[in-house]
Amino acid sequence: MGRRDATPTVAADPVLTDLTPDQRLRRLELTVTRRLDGLLHGERLGLLPGPGSEPAGSREYRPGEDEVRRMDWSVTARTTVPHVREVDADRELTTWLLVDASPSMEYGTAELDKRELAVAAVATVGFLTAGPGNRLGAQVLTSYGLRRVPARAGRAHLFGLLRALLAAPRAGEIPDDGPRTSPTTGLGDALAEVRRVAHRRGLVVVVSDFLDGLPDDARLPAAWERHLRQLTVRHQVLAIEVSDPRELELPDVGLITLVDPETGERREVWTGDRRLRERYAAAAAAQRTQVRQALRRAGVTHLALRTDRDWTVDIVRHVHAQRRLAAAAAPSHRGGTA
């Protein structure tokens, strides 16, 4: 489908698409720091590695100071003196982003299109994971191939990445550096590239509609599922699924022309047919279920965002849910065997 025609309006508070790139970045930064950072009490999104995980020896247990779940039972049994495990803190975090900027992400019937919502999600991850020594790198999947942004630290780097995402060519546009000669890369190949460059354990965030590579037979795995599962072996992986309400149901508005954003194929559809709308809604729901099941099988954390909802609220709810799960799982780590 193509994007809706823009209707000029006079509004005191313009939407994101009405702003210049720099104004959009400033709006996103204010949204994240005021609405998210305050609600999250300054914690890093609640989705990142904990205070440490790399073994760094043991030391004697200090009553009232150390947690029982960190007891090193093997050393305790050997020395008959209680010991706790020490770990090297993950103070410096490397986050790798895979951002889908393919033509299917250009569709939108609400305040934002899917690609603009993807930029908002990237801004959220970037602002909330920013810190001394933390680095952010990205792979941007476009119709002309894969654009690579090396992992670097700093606010200027983050803003440069966001500007690049906002300026990424849309369908039919030629990139500033000319057309790409490499073949178009699918989501699975892009995930494999992230795995190749993400050497150090960290966070991988994939922002996409995940429609690429979905088989017609729901019993078969998606083309990108295996690559996503391989990333979870070493990294914490967050999959941000972006969708638009008109992808889930058709409105009763008479005759419309549907356009495939990937191929340009057009088809006229009479939306006054109730049975057609019901079949469309059922097929769309089955497709989203297929995506959710594939993400679950891959073992990633799943966050769903929609262009017609408040994305900041959805992110906060997701973080709170992750914290509750982490708190519920904490007691299971206590105790152990000698």
CA distances for 80 relative to 61, 71, 87, 215, 338, angstroms: 12, 13, 22, 58, 11
Mean pLDDT within 273-288: 94
For the entire predicted model, the pTM comes to 0.77
- Helix axis angle for 274-298 and 225-232, nearest 10°, is 30
Q: What is the rounded CA–CA span in Å between residue 236 and residue 330?
A: 18
Q: Is the pLDDT of residue 20 over 50?
A: yes
Which uninterrupted H or E stretch holds 327? helix 311-329
**Tens-digit pLDDT profile for residues 182-207:** 455 799 999 999 999 998 888 999 99
Mean pLDDT within 203-224: 93
12: confidence class by pLDDT, cuts 50, 70, 90: very low
**What is residue 176's predicted lDDT score, i.e. its pLDDT?**
59
> Which of 93, 75, 95 lies closest to 84 in space, CA to CA?
75
**Tens-digit pLDDT profile for residues 29-61:** 888 777 776 655 544 455 544 444 444 467 788
Specify the CATH number for 91-307; select among 3.30.70, 3.40.50, 1.20.120, 3.10.150: 3.40.50
Q: Is the pLDDT of residue 212 over 60?
A: yes
**What is residue 15's predicted lDDT score, i.e. its pLDDT?**
56
Q: Is there a contact between 213 and 180 (Cβ–Cβ < 8 Å)?
A: no
Domain boundaries of the chain, sorted by first residue: 91-307
Mean pLDDT over the full length of the chain: 80
**What is residue 293's predicted lDDT score, i.e. its pLDDT?**
96
**Tens-digit pLDDT profile for residues 98-144:** 999 988 898 888 878 899 999 999 998 888 887 778 899 999 998 88
Q: Is the pLDDT of residue 242 over 90?
A: yes
